């Protein structure tokens, strides 16, 4: 078996990483570290991060959800599962705790693997009829204004049908996986990851009756930026940014590939929600 390991840069987890490598190598697992991860513990023989998905059977991610999101985009359509080890503070995606790490890893190495398959979205920017960018995301696509810009005007269409003009600070188009991220903070619904749906949530809308909308994942969504001379950005999974111009069209569809996350046996999505959102506390 071949396992890639990608850790959050500047992570203070050298001992955890060394122990993990030692464990895997004793099990006869071939390991691949990217250069930044190897530098955390002074390892040699690393490879480029972009090379790892094509060389391994799965990728172990040490860090938080942000690190996992970047790895999901790196994998693209290669169908390599992700083993998310939570060293962050929240961890909706990196759900494996340090206590669960080695028992779960034993199951993975022996082939007893449980997967959660997650929808991804592809977002393209069309400017004057020409596609100028295209990205895939696991969480969300966000159109928002700069800190000092005025409210922006966005026209939204689903399968060619005009649904609304949003005058707002911005708009979030989210997967069910991303429903617990920016979408949740903006008042959008929590949607169970296995559902075939896409969530559209306005950010601080000027018209209070503009509410979140949930549509089927086969829908083609188009958002047209109607504002001129306003600084507006497209942000993908909170990590990649792109400047927009007036009359740009953001076209969003279900990606032709999914991401597989390795899950902990006996641990379900609602267990994670109760823990992370502190629903059991009074």
Residues serving a catalytic function are 65
**Residue 168 to residue 230: CA distance in whole angstroms:** 13
Cβ(146)–Cβ(114) below 8 Å: no
In a 10 Å sphere around its CB, with 0-12 CB exposed, 13-18 middle and 19+ buried, how is residue 277 labelled?
A: middle
d(CA 108, CA 1) in angstroms, rounded, equals 10
Query: How far is Cα 109 from Cα 18, in angstroms, rounded to an integer?
Result: 18
**125-130 LR contacts (CB < 8 Å, sep 24+):** 125/234, 125/242, 125/244, 125/248, 125/249, 125/250, 125/251, 126/248, 126/249, 126/250, 126/251, 127/245, 127/247, 127/248, 127/249, 128/247
**Of 4, 137, 179, residue with least CA distance to 80:** 4
């Amino acid at each position: 078996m071949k396992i890639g390991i990608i850790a959050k840069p500047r992570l203070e987890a050298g001992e955890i990483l060394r122990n993990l490598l030692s464990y895997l190598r004793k099990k006869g697992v071939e390991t691949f570290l990217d250069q930044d991860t190897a530098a955390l513990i002074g390892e040699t023989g690393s490879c480029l991060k972009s090379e790892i998905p094509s060389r391994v059977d799965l990728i172990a991610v040490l860090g938080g959800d942000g690190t996992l999101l970047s790895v999901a985009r790196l994998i693209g359509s290669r169908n390599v599962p992700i083993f998310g080890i939570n060293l962050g503070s929240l961890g909706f995606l990196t759900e494996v705790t340090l206590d669960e790490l080695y028992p779960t890893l034993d199951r993975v190495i022996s082939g007893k693997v449980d997967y959660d398959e997650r929808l991804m979205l592809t977002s393209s920017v069309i400017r004057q009829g020409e596609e100028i960018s295209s990205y895939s995301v696991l969480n969300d696509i966000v159109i928002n204004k700069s800190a000092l810009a005025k409210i922006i005007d966005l026209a939204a269409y689903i399968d060619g049908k005009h649904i609304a003009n949003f005058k707002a600070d911005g708009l979030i188009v989210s997967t069910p996986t991303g429903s617990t991220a920016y979408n949740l903070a903006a008042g959008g619904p929590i949607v169970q990851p296995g559902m075939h749906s896409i969530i559209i949530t306005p950010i601080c809308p000027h018209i209070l009756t503009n509410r979140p909308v949930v549509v089927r994942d086969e829908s083609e969504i188009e958002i047209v930026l109607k504002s001129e001379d306003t600084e507006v950005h497209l942000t993908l999974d909170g990590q990649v940014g792109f400047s927009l111009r007036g009359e740009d069209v953001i076209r969003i569809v279900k990606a032709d590939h999914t991401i597989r996350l390795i899950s902990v046996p006996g641990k379900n999505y609602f267990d994670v929600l109760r823990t992370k959102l502190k629903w059991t506390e009074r």
